Chain A
C-alpha cells in the first residue's frame, strides 16, 4: 500500500476507534474529549489559514467567540440549540472573516499577526462593553438538543465527532482542490502565484472566510459544551494563542497535526492543572521540547516513524542485500 493509502486507512481506523470509544470510557472522559474536539475544529480552521496559506493569525479566538456568542444569543432569545447555531455562527464568522481578510490584504508575517491580534482584542472589548453580551456575567445556555432530541455527555461527544469529521473532510477536500493548490502556491511565493494567474485578493479573503467559519463551528460547540459563555473565557487573547500553538506544535499544513496539537494544548494543562504554577513551567518546557526536537511538529515525527515502519516491512517482503553493510559485517 502506498503512503497515501496508509494515511487514509489510519484515518478511518482512528475515527472508527473514536466512534467506539464512549462505550469503553466513563461519560466524564467523553465530555473531556468533546471539549477537545472543539479545539481540534478551531485548530483545523487556523491551520487552513496559517499552515496552508501561510497567513499567521493570532486572532482566531475572535471567530471562536463569534460562533459561541451567536449560538448563545440565539439560544437565549430564540430558544434554538446546536444545529441552527452552527449554521448561523459559521455564516456570520465567514462574513466577518471575509471583511478582516480585506482589511489585512496587504499584510504579511509579523504585521499580520499583530493586526489579527488587534481583531481578537477588539472582539473582546465589544463583548465586555456592549450590554447585550452580558460581559463577565455571561449567558447561560439551556439543555442541548439535536432535532428536538435531548443529548447528554455521550450524545454531545458524537455531535462533536460528527462536526469535527465534517470540518476535517471539508478542509481535506479544499486542500486537494484547485483552491487549496492556490493557497499553497500563495504561501510558497506570492509573486509566483500571481504570475500563474492566481487572484491574490480573492483567494486570500476566501481563505480568511473559510478558516473563520471553521473556527466559529468550534466556538458554537464550545458554547453548548460548557452551556455558558462569558468574557472570562472570551475577553482576552489566550484562545487565539492556544489555537496558533496547537497548529505549530501539531504540525503546520497537516490535518492530523491540528488534532495532535489541539490535544496538546487541551490535555497538557488539564493534567498538570493541580500543580498550579509548576504546571506553567512544565507546559512551557513541553512546548519548547516539541519545537526543539520536532521542528516540523508532532505530525512530522509520526510521519517519519510511519515511513520507517513501512520501510522495514517493505524490506521484510523483499530483502535487499546492502553491499556496504555486508562488507562491514
Chain B
C-alpha cells in the first residue's frame, strides 16, 4: 500500500516537475514568474487533440506539431509582450504574464469552447507489476519521459554552448553580456525551451485530466510550489521539490483523507519556507528580488 502510494506519487510529481523546470528556467534568466506556463501546456493539449483528429491518430505527428506550435507561442509571447518591459521590476513582469494567462484562457475558450474534451488514452489501463508493486503503464511512461527530459537538459546545460550561456546569464547577466554572450537571443531560447517542456507536459497530462481551459490551473500552482521548494534557481531542486509534493499529496490523500490532498502542498511549503526561507536548495541569498 505504502509503496503503491509512493510510486503513483512519483508519477504525479514527475508531471509537476516538467512544469516546475519550465518555471525555474524562465525565472532564473528573466526574473519572470511565468503564470502562462500552464496555459502553454493547455494550448498544447488542444493542438495535440486537433492534430490527432486530423492526422488519423498518429501520436508522433501530433507530438511534433504540438512542440513546434507551443514553442512558437512561447517565442511570440517573449518577443511581443515580455521584451518591451524586460527592465521592469519582477512584480510588473509577473502581472504581465497574468495578462498572457487571461489572453490564452480567452483564446482557447473562444476557439475550442468551455466543454471538457476527452483525450485518447496512450496506453491500455492494465497495470504492470514491478517487484510486487502495481504501476499503470501511463504512470511509468510519464516517469520515463520526465527522466529522459531531465537527462537531455543535464547534457544540454553541461556540454552545449547555448546551455552554458544560459547558466552564465543566471549567474550574472551583465558579465555574460560582456563576455560576448548574446543575452537577448539566449533569453528567447530560454522561453523556447520552456515552450517545449510545456508542450510535453500538456500531452502527458491530457489523457489523465480532461482537456479544458482550466486543465492546468492546479498543476501550475503545484509546479510553482515544487519550484519554490527547490529554491527557484535550482533545476534538480525543482525536480526533487515536485516529486516530494507529488508523493506527499498521494500519501495525504491515501492516509488522511481526500480533502487534505489539495492542502498538504501548501502546508508543506509554508513550513519549509518558515524554516529555510530560500527553499531547500536555495543556497546563498540573492539580491535581485
Contact = CB atoms under 8 A, between A and B. Distances in A.
Instruction: Verify that A and B bind, or say they do not.
Output: yes
Interface of B: 27, 33, 81, 84-85, 88, 90-92, 94-96, 98-107, 109-110, 114, 221, 224-225, 228, 232, 259, 262-263, 266-267, 269-270, 273-274, 277-279, 289
Given A128-B259, A280-B105, A292-B85, A103 B232 contact: no
A104 B274 CA distance: 6
A280 B103 contact: yes
Interface string A232-245: 00000000010011
Nearest to A272: B106
Contacts of B103: 280-281, 284-285, 288
Contact of A241 (B98, B107, B109): B98
Contacts of B101: 284
Contacts of A118: 225, 266-267, 269-270
Given A111-B279, A121-B263, A281-B110, A287 B102 contact: yes
A129 B267 contact: no
Contacts of B274: 103-104, 106
Given A114-B269, A281-B103, A284-B101, A106 B277 contact: yes
Given A110-B228, A279-B106, A121 B96 contact: no
B81 A288 contact: yes
Contact of A111 (B94, B106, B221, B228): B228
Contact of A291 (B95, B107, B278, B279): B95
A145 interface: no
A280 B102 contact: yes
B99 A285 contact: yes
A281 B169 CA distance: 33
A284 B106 CA distance: 9
Contacts of A276: 109
Interface string A101-116: 0011011111101110
B188 to A, nearest CB: 18
A29 interface: no
Given A121-B263, A284-B100, 20 more contacts: A107-B277, A108-B289, A109-B90, A111-B278, A117-B224, A117-B266, A118-B267, A121-B221, A122-B263, A125-B266, A249-B95, A277-B109, A277-B114, A280-B102, A280-B103, A284-B103, A285-B99, A287-B95, A292-B84, A292-B96
B270 A291 contact: no
B96 A291 contact: yes
B27 A277 contact: no
B2 to A, nearest CB: 25
Tell me what chain A mostly uses at the interface: helix, strand, loop, or mixed.
helix
Contact of A109 (B104, B269, B289): B289
A56 B91 contact: yes
Those 3 A-B pairs whose CB atoms lie nearest each other, nearest first: A280-B106, A284-B102, A109-B289
A138 interface: no
13 contacts: A50-B91, A109-B90, A110-B232, A111-B228, A115-B269, A121-B221, A121-B263, A244-B95, A277-B105, A277-B109, A283-B106, A288-B81, A295-B85
B82 to A, nearest CB: 10
Contacts of B98: 241, 245, 284, 287
A119 interface: yes
Given A118-B270, A278-B106, A281-B103, A295 B277 contact: no
A248 interface: yes
Nearest to B35: A241
Nearest to B33: A110
A103 B27 contact: no
A278 B111 CA distance: 10
A125 B266 CA distance: 10
Given A114-B273, A284-B102, A125 B263 contact: yes
B99 A284 contact: yes
A277 B212 CA distance: 13
Given A106-B277, A129-B259, A292-B84, A248 B92 contact: yes
A115 B225 CA distance: 9
B273 A115 contact: yes
A106 B277 CA distance: 6
A287 B228 contact: no
B16 to A, nearest CB: 14
Contacts of B110: 277-278, 281
A294 to B, nearest CB: 10
Contacts of B262: 121, 125
A316 to B, nearest CB: 36
A104 B275 CA distance: 10
B62 to A, nearest CB: 24
Contacts of B109: 276-277, 280
B102 A281 contact: yes
Nearest to B277: A106
Contacts of A114: 224-225, 228, 269, 273
A284 to B, nearest CB: 3
Contacts of A108: 277, 289
A113 B98 CA distance: 14
Given A244-B95, A291-B88, A281 B106 contact: yes
A119 B99 contact: no
Contacts of A117: 221, 224, 266
Nearest to B270: A118
A2 B225 CA distance: 48
A110 B97 CA distance: 14
B95 A245 contact: yes
B187 to A, nearest CB: 18
Contacts of A284: 98-104, 106
